[in-house]
Structure 1
Amino acid sequence: MFGFSGARQWVYPMAQPGRFQRWHTISSVALHLILFVTPWITVAGNPALRIDLPGRRVFVLGGIYTARDSILLLLILLFLAFALFFFTSLWGRIWCGYACPQTVFLESWIRPIEKWIEGDRGARMRRDKGGISLDYAWRKAAKWSLFALAAFVIAMAFIAFFAGARELWTGRAGVASYTLVGIITVALFWDFAWFREQFCNYLCPYARFQGALTDEESLLIAYDRARGEPRGGPLAKTDGRCVECNKCVAVCPQGIDIRNGFQLECIACGHCIDACTDVMGKLGHPTLVRYSTIAADEGRKVRRLRPRTVVYGGLLGGIAATWIALVAGHVPFEATVNRMPGSLFTIDTDGAVRNTFLLRIENKSAGDGQVPFHVHVTGLPGAQVICDDIRLASTEDRIVPLVVRVPRALATDRTIPIQVHVTSPTDSLVLGTTFKSGGELHDERQPERETD
């Protein structure tokens, strides 16, 4: 954070065990498992989750989705966006406090490293105020070295979702992947070593638009001013319960004083609640800082079901139902048919009309074996289909010539709509195209032959 002079004011948050810190630990472990373990998991020979940008494919739980399935990816993004809106309307900035990567990495990696090398809050403050010394220098160097290592490991874990964990860690990924690892490592190190809480205050847009997502019945961290003021406690002979220990300020990773009311910088992490609960518990009083709502503080009833939450919840349900329906009807292969370039139609020596197409099939199913594909044509009675035997392994694609022949007498129209059926053992696709024959020219000559 910055002071009134514009100079950087370092925040030295104190570690505080408690109920919400335990929830932080549970959330952090779950999210770290997703980040570091998921890229190594395979389902039926395919990655459990991978975004293959060069191949324009996405692997999800063994399934393969391409650009043709972009509606599924769009629905996932919309679901995540409206889920954020829905949970924010109910529980405020729960994302910021418990699931945001910025919070998770700082609380799980950076602050423990800092405390291990430089000591607790008081020791760090004294050392920084004391100026540069040998003790100061080696501790900073050691801390920053570990920050750089942490940034590198996190960057590798993130890029593994795009390049593959095994390829990335064994040096078999492309140059672009390692370049991105380097860029992300530098950015994360800068964040860990210097930027920190400023990211939440100045860069992250979520703090800005949360005002449009919350209302007086959304959960936030609040100070019980009626019980806490005037401050000072029994020793100061005041009626307020707040003893002015400032522990809620000391533990805050954003460096704010929650007693001044709700502030944009608050990420609802709950550290101040644990601190106040600890102090007030020793004095035999309930905490003065807690999760609450503006409506509850004013004595009004808090409604969980209200227009905002109903709309967000309804949209979530609709998006989820649409996605499930599309996935249930998803065909695990992709096929396209195009006319052979430079070839409209050909008249064979026996008088039959021949059209040549290029058929492309990509197997998007999971599994180790090869999947057979069969091709037949409808819409053109008497047609003969000539196509190579097609067997494809998972993620394999092939382009094969497809020849459709029909006796001249049956090709009465110049352009005939036909359907190419591509069938696997479990699914089928129907591709529309046209058969060119020059049939109208043939019909114009036919009456003359009949007159003779």
Structure 2
Amino acid sequence: MQSLINTIFYRKRRYLVYFIITVIAISLPFIRINGNHIFLLSFDHMELHLLGTAFNVQQLYLMPFLLIILFVGIFFMTTLGGRVWCGWSCPQTIFRVIYRDFIETTLLGLRKKISNKQEKPKYTIISNDVKKIIGILIFSVIALMASAVFLFYFVPPEEFFPALLDPLNHMVLMTFWLCIAGFLVFDITFIAENFCVYICPYARVQSVLYDDDTIMAIYDSSRGGAIYTPEGEKILQAPKKRDPNAECTNCEKCVRVCPTHIDIRKGMQLECINCLECVDACTEVMGKLGRPSLVQWSSPNSIDTKTKIKYFRAKTIAYIVVLAIVFGIMVAMWGKKEQMLLNITRSSELYEIRSSGVVDNEYVFLFQNTDNKDHNYSFKILDNNDLIIKQPTSDIRIKAGGKSKQIVIIRAKAALGDNTSKDAITPITIQAYATDDPKINVERKSFFVYPEKNVLKKYQK
């Protein structure tokens, strides 16, 4: 009875995870913090939104850290739990459950029951062919919604929905939307689990990440008895060939329920996606016999030595340390995010001497407001009281996300250029700030050039 309870728990827990992931994926694009999205990679606006903070394309120094966390996280997850992502979180698996188990089996009755995934639907009867078409059409609607949600992470909903009302002027977006939905329909209804077995690159790299403490669905041959020879040939199941103490009844329910069409009793296989369907099936059968499941979610070492699973070991601890270091660096870099961008370049002319004898230096300031509000900007010279800003004379108004190029003239009196060097280069620090928000300010280094001494004297006479 206890084993049967575990079966129900596993099944409900897996579907609950699917539901939670679906809700999160759909809701995240609609949640905004301070006007910014939780996650948005907008190629149109050249912005990355992360946890309510917007980063301009010139501020994407966080992207390498995000990619490192992604890949190291995948390695860590695989080393710890095998292809647990595939069975419990992968959209491919979730959509296959929706299409195969709900639409084809429960809704349309094209399959006899969920517990037999090896038997393919039969389409010899015309009504079944019609049901197949209906099933594809139903899933096509789901695919359109799913592809739209996927695009929400690149084109926010507040821009996507208006584009739907004017598709002719948004042909690129509409093409991407329909192509993604079309591929999803073809993948889920025709390619099916072959994607997991032959196409998905994750299956190709997982074997090098496994060790004897990796958690996976494992058949306990010490209790159930050997079903295959070391060479992979199936042992004849005649009574005289069987181990009299073997507990496996050879019901093959663990085989029929497997979505990737493998026999878990053969040992660890790349096709196994850790969905635990076989664990549920065996638990139900062995539970009726008052015995624990022969297929368990455990590690090879734990099964062989009858000890607890080792979650923390050298490899997993190393991954945790790396993830913690990278995450810490990313958080530190996050704090350096500027609410405005300022790029200062000098004009091609070193300086200009006016008829009155004053010296001007000309600069080009490129402002960019990376905040989600409009701001008025001004600037000042911090470390030189002998220089004044001649132009512009008023604040610069820039809209949220906007840019502005300004010609800036910094002036010094000619008498101040009395020095012995040929071209006196004086370092200066320029602070730009938002006059309506003192928290927004940046500092940039530049320099001011004086003419040589004998040139100044000509204008002073």
Give the TM bin, normalised by the shorter chain: 0.7 to 0.9
Return the alpha-carbon distance in structure 1 between the equivalents of residues 149 and 368 of structure 2: 29
Return the alpha-carbon distance in structure 2 between the equivalents of residues 205 and 127 of structure 1: 26
CA contact (8 A) 1:381 1:410 kept: no
What SS does the corresponding residue of 1:357 show, helix, strand or coil? strand
CA contact (8 A) 1:19 1:274 kept: no
Structure 1 residue aligned with 2:375: 371
CA contact (8 A) 1:230 1:238 kept: no
1:87 is displaced (CA, Å) by 1.9
The alpha-carbon distance between structure 1 residues 325 and 130, as it changes in their structure 2 partners (threshold 3 A), is: closer
1:383 maps onto 2:387 in alignment = yes
Structure 1 residue aligned with 2:361: 355
Residues 73-111 of structure 1, C-alpha deviation per residue, up to 9 Å, x if partnerless?
211111121111112222222111111221122224553
Among 145, 169, 177, the alignment partner of 1:181 is 177
Matched residue pairs, number?
428
Among 256, 259, 278, the alignment partner of 1:253 is 259
- Report the residue type matching 2:26 in the other structure: F
Structure 1-normalised TM-score? 0.86
1:141 maps onto 2:141 in alignment = no
Return the alpha-carbon distance in structure 2 between the equivalents of residues 178 and 110 of structure 1: 28
Return the alpha-carbon distance in structure 1 between the equivalents of residues 123 and 38 of structure 2: 51
CA contact (8 A) 1:63 1:364 kept: no
CA contact (8 A) 2:38 2:50 kept: yes
- Report the residue type matching 2:158 in the other structure: R
Structure 1 residue aligned with 2:230: none
Deviating above 4 A after TM superposition, structure 1's stretches of 4 or more consecutive aligned residues are 123-130, 230-234, 445-450
Residues 377-422 of structure 1, C-alpha deviation per residue, up to 9 Å, x if partnerless?
2454411113330344432332233221111222353433322211
1:27 maps onto 2:20 in alignment = no
Structure 1 residue aligned with 2:146: 154
What SS does the corresponding residue of 1:163 show, helix, strand or coil? coil
Return the alpha-carbon distance in structure 1 between the equivalents of residues 458 and 264 of structure 2: 98
What SS does the corresponding residue of 1:399 show, helix, strand or coil? strand
- Report the residue type matching 2:192 in the other structure: R
Return the alpha-carbon distance in structure 2 between the equivalents of residues 185 and 74 of structure 1: 29
What SS does the corresponding residue of 2:362 show, helix, strand or coil? strand
Give the gaps of 5 or more residues in structure 1: 1-15
- Report the residue type matching 1:330 in the other structure: K
Structure 1 residue aligned with 2:448: 435
The alpha-carbon distance between structure 1 residues 70 and 448, as it changes in their structure 2 partners (threshold 3 A), is: closer
Q: Which stretch of the first structure deviates more once superposed, 296-305 or 68-77?
A: 296-305
Residues 46-69 of structure 1, C-alpha deviation per residue, up to 9 Å, x if partnerless?
333211112211122331102232
- Report the residue type matching 1:384 in the other structure: I
Return the alpha-carbon distance in structure 2 between the equivalents of residues 447 and 60 of structure 1: 58
What SS does the corresponding residue of 2:342 show, helix, strand or coil? strand
Alignment of 1:32-71 (within 5 A): 32-71=22-61
Structure 2 residue aligned with 1:94: 84
1:430 is displaced (CA, Å) by 1.6
Q: Which stretch of the first structure deviates more once superposed, 378-387 or 400-409?
A: 378-387
1:294 maps onto 2:300 in alignment = yes
Return the alpha-carbon distance in structure 2 between the equivalents of residues 396 and 107 of structure 1: 46
Q: Which stretch of the first structure deviates more once superposed, 392-401 or 197-206?
A: 392-401
CA contact (8 A) 1:223 1:258 kept: yes
Percent identity between the two aligned chains: 27
What SS does the corresponding residue of 2:41 show, helix, strand or coil? strand
Return the alpha-carbon distance in structure 1 between the equivalents of residues 195 and 119 of structure 2: 26
1:321 maps onto 2:334 in alignment = no
Return the alpha-carbon distance in structure 2 between the equivalents of residues 153 and 339 of structure 1: 51
CA RMSD of aligned residues (A): 2.9
Return the alpha-carbon distance in structure 2 between the equivalents of residues 309 and 127 of structure 1: 40
Alignment of 1:207-218 (within 5 A): 207-218=203-214
Q: Which stretch of the first structure deviates more once superposed, 47-56 or 298-307?
A: 298-307
Q: Which stretch of the first structure deviates more once superposed, 121-130 or 159-168?
A: 121-130
CA contact (8 A) 1:360 1:398 kept: yes
1:258 is displaced (CA, Å) by 0.4
- Report the residue type matching 1:200 in the other structure: C
Structure 2 residue aligned with 1:307: 314
Return the alpha-carbon distance in structure 2 between the equivalents of residues 239 and 233 of structure 1: 14
What SS does the corresponding residue of 1:221 show, helix, strand or coil? strand
Return the alpha-carbon distance in structure 1 between the equivalents of residues 47 and 385 of structure 2: 38
Structure 2 residue aligned with 1:10: none
What SS does the corresponding residue of 2:400 show, helix, strand or coil? coil
- Report the residue type matching 2:319 in the other structure: Y
Return the alpha-carbon distance in structure 2 between the equivalents of residues 160 and 288 of structure 1: 44
Alignment of 1:411-450 (within 5 A): 411=417, 412=419, 413-424=423-434, 425-437=438-450, 439-440=451-452, 443-445=453-455
Return the alpha-carbon distance in structure 1 between the equivalents of residues 366 and 279 of structure 2: 61
Return the alpha-carbon distance in structure 1 between the equivalents of residues 324 and 120 of structure 2: 54
- Report the residue type matching 2:33 in the other structure: V
1:78 maps onto 2:84 in alignment = no
Return the alpha-carbon distance in structure 1 between the equivalents of residues 412 and 458 of structure 2: 23
CA contact (8 A) 2:123 2:129 kept: no
